[in-house]
Amino acid sequence: MKPLHSYKIVLTLMAVFVFLTSCSLGKSPGDHMYQKIEDAADGESTFNDLQKPMVKAENKEHKLFKDIMKLDMTEYKKIKEHADDALKSIEERKDMLKDEQASIEKAYQSFQEGATYISELDDKETKSLAKDVVDIMDQRYQTYQNLHKAYQKSLQLDEKLFNMLEKKDLKVETLQAQIKKVNSGYKKVEKNQKQFNDLTKQFNKKKMDLYKQLGIEINRKDKEGA
């Protein structure tokens, strides 16, 4: 039987500590935009903190599945115990996914507030660069929505799989068909994760280009979620 896959860590927005070379924060449209962009990065702190626990839970379920596959129905009690543990882990992931989405929504709202200052920027090159930053963030946000939906579907498939494993009359053909669906769901998640991570990298780079254009210099070491 084809083994279940594990997920990868999702990248988050890079937060930076900076100082302005030309003026103090809070006076120009660029200052306001900078602050809101950094508020967005801070808003994703929960999203960032949840990545490792979610992957840990996924790996735990993967191991439980492998352990179950080594057992036969004469050890049904152990099979049920492992399946129950996996189902509890899946419920925990559902809760984490809700918190993850709330963090993304909070961050995106802060970013949108910053985007309103673009029309007040005087320099055409700066305005164009700022629009690029917004465009990438909008793409990233939409990609997260796709990722979220794919992950939700994957959770449902995982849940169905472990519920199946608790059935004493489970047929091999039925199990194989469900494993195929689970792996297909994982591939969709991984595809969206890659797109999300690529856009996150693009955004972090473009954001730094914008800060440079605005006259913002890095004063301390960057901090990036991973």
Over residues 147-198, the pLDDT tens digits come to 999 999 999 999 999 999 999 999 999 999 999 999 999 999 999 999 999 9
What's the structural domain count of the chain? 1
Which of 13-27, 34-48, 133-147, 180-194 comes out lowest in average pLDDT? 13-27
Task: Supply the CATH number for residue 213's domain.
Answer: 1.20.120.570
| Residue span of the structural domain in which 100 resides | 14-224
Contacts for 208 with CB less than 8 Å, ≥ 6 apart: 16
Give domain status of residue 8, yes or no. Answer: no
Sign, CA dihedral 150-152-156-162, equals positive
Report the percentage of the chain scoring pLDDT > 90.
73
Is 161 a domain residue? yes
DSSP letter at 11 equals: P
With respect to residue 4, please indicate whether it lies within any of the assigned structural domains: no
Q: Is the alpha carbon torsion for 40, 148, 98, 11 positive or negative?
A: negative
pLDDT in tens, 11-22: 666 654 444 444
Confidence of residue 218 (pLDDT cuts 50, 70, 90): low
Phi, psi angle pair for 219, to nearest 5° = -100, -25
Does residue 2 sit within a domain? no
H-helix segments, 70-123? 76-115
For residue 214, tell me if it sits in a domain. yes
Q: For residue 180, report the phi and psi dihedrals to the nearest 5 degrees.
A: -60, -45
Is the full-model pTM beyond 0.75? yes
Is 5 within a domain? no
Residue 212 lies in a domain: yes
Report the alpha-carbon distance of residue 143 to residue 124 in Å, rounded.
Answer: 29
Whether residue 44 lies inside any domain: the answer is yes
